[in-house]
Structures are given as C-alpha cells and as structure tokens.
Amino acid sequence: MCGLGYVGLPVAVALSKRFDVIGFDVDKRRIERLKEGDDWTGEIERHLLIDSPIRFTDSIKDVEGCDFFVVAVPTPVDEKNNPDFSLLVKACQLIGPVLRPGCIVVFESTVHPGATEEICGPELEKASGLRCGIDFKLGYSPERINPGDKEHPLEKIVKIVSGQDEEALEIVAGVYEKIIDAGVHRASSIKVAEAAKVLENTQRDINIALMNEMSKICDLVGIRTSEVLEAAGTKWNFLRFTPGLVGGHCIGVDPYYLTSKAQELGYHPEVILSGRRINDGMANHVASRVVQTLARNGRLNAQTKVGILGMTFKENVPDIRNSKVVDLYNALGQYGISPVACDPMVDKAQMEHEYGIKLVDRAHFNDMDVLILAVPHRETMDSIWEDMPDLVKRGGMVCDLKSVLDSSRLQSDVLYWTL
C-alpha cells in the first residue's frame, strides 16, 4: 500500500485482514505514529492499528517482492486550479525500481480520464525498465471514502474496479471482492472508472453551487434558504443539497481534473466551471455580507472582534486540506478585520505551518461582535448553547453557515444570519 492518508490507511487495514500488507509512506513521522497506533486522521481506532498485522515502513526497498501495489496519494490542484500530478508521478518513480514481471499496480487517486494509462503507465515503464501491459499491468479503483463518516465505511461502499485488460480486471476485482461486503462494479475500461469518479464529485459540486446561488437570492428576497429547502423537500424527487463552503480534497478539486481534460481536447465546459466559480466565491460572499452588516449597524471599527468557530473543511474531521474556512479567514483580513479562530479538532502546529493561522483555545474565544459558526463539530455543538452567552456580545451577530442553530434560542438583540 503506497500512501497512508485518509484513503490509503483504511484500505491497507481492510486488505491486511485477508492478505499480507506492507504499508509504505514517505512521511517518516506518519510511519512512526502509525506503529504506535496513532492515526491523526481519526479514521482508524488505536486498537485496530495496534492489532493490525500491517508492516509499516518509509523505505521503498521494503516492498520489494510485492506483486500487487495500491497507490493512494493526493492529487491536488495548483494555484491556477490546474491538476497537480507531481505526487502521483513521484509515487510511480518510487515504485518503478521495485516492480517485477507479473506485478499489478492499482491507482485509487482521483485523476482525469486517461491519466492512469497516459501518465502513470509511462512513468512506471521509465522507472522500472519494464513494459506496461506486458511485464506489468495497470488497474484503477477510485476511492469513495467519506472522512468522518462511520455509517459508510470502506466495506459498505460498492467499489468500482477496472483493469488494463480482462485478466488484470479479474485480478483487481478478485482482491477487492475479498474486502468489500457491498461488492464491486466492473467498469469496462480504466477511463470509464476514472470518469465515473470525477463525475460523482462534480455532480455534488454543481448541486451545491445551485443551492449557494439560491441562498444569495433568498437573502435578497428576505427569506431563509433553510425554510425554502424544507418546503421544496416535501416533493419526492427533490435532491436535498444545502448551501455552504465547498472545500476539502474531493468536491472542491475533482471537477478541475475533468474540465482540464475537456479543455485539452478542445471543449470548454460551461456548467461545471460556472458551478466552480460560484462555490469558490462563497468565502468572499460571506465575508462581504458580514462586513456590510457590521457597517450598517455601526459596529465596524478597529476594535471589531470576529470569531470563527471551526476551521476544517467539514465537521467531525481534523482535515484542513483546501478548507474554504481558511479562505473566509483571509477574506475578512482583506477588510481590515483580524479574526480569532478556534477549532477543537485541529492540530494548532499544523494549522500555523500550513496557513500561518494561530488558533486559540476555547477559553480565549469569547465576547465576539460576530460569531461565525463555520464547522459544527459534534464536540462544539454539545456545549454551544451553554457557551453562547459568553461567545457573543449583546447586540452582536451570529453567522450560522450550515443552518444548524435554532435561532429562536438566541437573545432577542442578537442578529442571526445564515446562508
């Protein structure tokens, strides 16, 4: 198993119940912590790691002799939202020298249709000196893990599998069938499997963009989006999406892989890129709305105190990758506001290293002119109403980005706003 993050580690643990597994990652600190039973992603419980027979290593030489490789490394986008294959290419360069005839290399990283065979195959050939499709073969099985979701673990989600040819497909399917209780879906080709993965998240992105656009309209009309969605949801075929900040390593990234391939082939996607523009602009929209309200109420000055509660890309996970709450934090800064941020699930050192943001403890997070409840972690919500009188000043403002609060419980002089 190459890559032991949010995707790779659960796959490695599942595979280790039926096969001999070596878990490889270039992050030495990650390997040391996993050996101690510590998974900072929170996906695998300590006792399961300690009891697991996986051999963790940061030395690629330790995987020599393996004949089935699973690669699960990040595939982000760069500053211009172009696909960044550098980590995937590096993984191929590391694996290549230890490949031997008869090996199968399966990729789980999200890519555009064609990338596995057009990028990974040639890189493996170059690094190994072997012939792709003859000496070794490729497979692709896109990850469908939802971080923090204990109701839909790996074993309960149908797994798409594909192979470079029929023989490779059956081997790949045979391996995954032993660990996926929900079964596997055999795609007709690697490109079909790749396209299916980016489509899944692109569909969600577009639906959320529609809700975000609707929330702007509802705000202008003077009605609550949540009440509109509740009413519309009484129809049997209404899709229950909600507005919000779209970050993370999937929905906010994957559509760019699809659009980049389309543009490479001479087609300019309109709907997909439009949805991306809407969702990427929501942090600025929220910041603008907060500042407008403060100015209108005469509360925008050098002493204005704005607190952001929750900095991860979604609730109940410590994952800060591509968090749009960070964009909101920075957008407020452009208006001259220095927000105070607090998140009980985030490693403070990691947040400061990645984004230069210093998180404060809950004890120093109080008396806000504006409280932005950005990520309603379970731990946060357990005490939110007990804490609320200390969190917001009288006459202050509460921005409930996910509409999880009962606004009727707020003090009468507190202004409530939500997407």
| Among the ranges given (4-13, 144-153, 178-187), the one the predictor scored with the smallest mean pLDDT | 144-153
Range of the domain at 386: 213-418
Q: Give domain status of residue 207, yes or no.
A: no
Looking from the CA of 382 toward its CB, the CA atoms found within 13 Å total: 5
Which residues touch 328 (CB under 8 Å, ≥6 apart)?
245, 283, 286, 287, 308, 372, 374
Confidence grade of residue 210 (pLDDT, cut at 50, 70, 90): very high
Q: Give domain status of residue 395, yes or no.
A: yes
pLDDT at residue 330 greater than cutoff 90: yes
Specify which residues 77 forms β-bridges with: 83
Query: Could you tell me the sign of the dihedral formed by the alpha carbons of 187, 190, 193, 199, in that order?
Result: negative
- The pLDDT of 130-141, averaged and rounded, is 98
Average pLDDT score, the chain: 95
| 170 lies in the same domain as 287 | no
pLDDT of residue 212: 98
Summarize pLDDT for 282-328 with one digit per residue, the tens.
999 999 999 999 999 888 888 899 999 999 999 999 999 999 999 99
pLDDT of residue 151: 83
| 58 lies in the same domain as 25 | yes
| 49 lies in the same domain as 102 | yes
Provide the 10 A C-beta neighbour count for residue 352: 12
- The pLDDT of 372-400, averaged and rounded, is 96
Q: At what angle do helices 86-95 and 121-128 cross, to 10 degrees?
A: 40
The answer to whether 13 and 52 have CB atoms below 8 angstroms apart is yes
- The pLDDT of 354-361, averaged and rounded, is 96
| 123 lies in the same domain as 238 | no
pLDDT of residue 96: 97
pLDDT of residue 298: 86
Q: Identify the CATH number of the domain in which residue 60 sits.
A: 3.40.50.720
Confidence grade of residue 47 (pLDDT, cut at 50, 70, 90): very high
Number of domains the chain is built from:
2
pLDDT at residue 30 greater than cutoff 90: yes
- The pLDDT of 375-388, averaged and rounded, is 96
The model's pTM is 0.94
| 239 lies in the same domain as 370 | yes
Q: Give domain status of residue 3, yes or no.
A: no
| 397 lies in the same domain as 362 | yes
| Residues carrying an active site annotation | 250
pLDDT of residue 107: 98
